[in-house]
Amino acid sequence: MSDVSVRIANEKELEMWDEIVDSSTMGTIYHRLDWLRAAEEHTKSKLYPLICYEGQEVVGLFPIFYMKKAFVKMAFSPPPNCAIPYMGPIFRYLTDKQSRIEALHNTVVEKVREFLVRDLRSDYILIKTSTHILDVRAFVWESFQANPNYTYMISIEKDTKSIFEGLRKQIRTDIRRAEKEERLEIREGNINDLRTLNRMIMDRYQEQGKVFGISDGYLMNVYKSFPDNIDIINLMYDKEVITGLVLLKYKEVIAHWLGGITPKKNIIGANELLHWWVIENYKEKGYKCYELIGANTKHLCGFKSKFNPRVNIYFNITKRNLKSRIAESIYNTLKGEAK
């Protein structure tokens, strides 16, 4: 496909960027321009919004973030320490013929690799494709390594009774028990609660000897840019916030993005009730799936899997040169979240 081109989007093309993201089945809220710019500012990286054409038709978007630490040049999609689980390319197919689809993948990946390696001279490249891209052979054929990652998706299209009966028995018992606790209350929060929840998460990470590097500034930036896409749900005990969830609403999916830490008060079924409240309420609002983001940490999966989700796969795509050990060490220092 010699007529496929990849270039950095100009101002006019950026004006239609979000329209392309929203119209694509592969587009995520993280691909939207305001989120990309918030991540760029937060990480002090350089955003390269790549746009792909076949002739005059846009056939893909591929946001790239570039950083240089010490003497190591790194390219990411998404950048570290932004609580973005996946990003990578968006493809728009002009045909359903598999041969043309594969040819598009191969050409775009080849040209993006040339940009990352030849133009940016990247020593380390990490791309996390979205769950909509299962065919990553084009990356492998360009000498990238591909490793699977996982996330959980709960279908909430069936009737509420059927969904509840699909939960593990112990979860159902704990939810019913928590529902009887009169001092527990669930209510929707605001931007101030977002700061409170972020502080709770930071404190919990510190207790575990970890760093949670999501700043209030980044969260405020994202929240103000997407007021219709972010909900904060608080779990109260005696009128005090003891835990909560930051939810992302996009297309037909409601996603548990941040929060959900175990309350310091030992209340059986508290978090189970919180997630069940989300399932019940957002089902009524017309959402079809509830995503429990991240299924890559064994001890967290023990809790999440009890909600009877299906497992969705996405991929870590990496490319390293001789500086890879140093680059990976820097990356692991930069990333603050564990999903």
The pLDDT score that the predictor gives to residue 255 is 97
- What torsion, rounded to 10 degrees, do the Cα atoms 187, 191, 197, 199 define? -150
Does the pLDDT of residue 1 top 60, yes or no? Answer: no
114: DSSP letter: H
Superfamily of structural domain 157-287: Gcn5-related N-acetyltransferase (GNAT) (3.40.630.30)
Which residues have a Cβ under 8 Å from the Cβ of 277 and sit 6 or more positions away? 186, 233
The pLDDT score that the predictor gives to residue 207 is 83
Contact 84, 222 (CB under 8 A): no
Q: 4-149+315-334 in CATH: which number?
A: 3.40.630.30
Average pLDDT in the 106-122 region? 96
**Which amino acid type is present at position 259?**
G
Does the pLDDT of residue 339 top 50, yes or no? Answer: no
| CA dist 176 → 165, 269, 278 (Å) | 12, 8, 15
Report the chain's mean pLDDT, rounded to a whole number: 92
Average pLDDT in the 4-17 region? 97
The pLDDT score that the predictor gives to residue 320 is 87
Average pLDDT in the 93-102 region? 95
The pLDDT score that the predictor gives to residue 262 is 84
pLDDT grade for 209, boundaries at 50, 70 and 90? confident
Q: Where in the chain is the domain with CATH 3.40.630.30?
A: 4-149+315-334, 157-287
Average pLDDT in the 15-40 region? 97
Q: Which residue has the tokens 């006019």?
A: 12
pLDDT tens per residue across span 116-149: 999 999 999 999 999 999 999 999 999 999 999 9
- 124-138, 303-317, 320-334: lowest mean pLDDT where? 320-334
Does the pLDDT of residue 330 top 90, yes or no? Answer: no
d(CA 118, CA 182): 63
- 4-18, 135-149, 205-219: lowest mean pLDDT where? 205-219
The pLDDT score that the predictor gives to residue 211 is 76
To the nearest whole percent, how much of the chain has pLDDT over 70?
94
pLDDT tens per residue across span 182-196: 899 999 999 989 999
- 88-92, 121-125, 212-216, 238-242: lowest mean pLDDT where? 212-216
pLDDT grade for 300, boundaries at 50, 70 and 90? confident
Does the pLDDT of residue 336 top 60, yes or no? Answer: no
d(CA 154, CA 311): 9
The pLDDT score that the predictor gives to residue 205 is 83
To the nearest whole percent, how much of the chain has pLDDT over 90?
81
pLDDT tens per residue across span 153-189: 999 999 999 999 999 999 999 999 999 998 999 999 9
pLDDT grade for 338, boundaries at 50, 70 and 90? very low
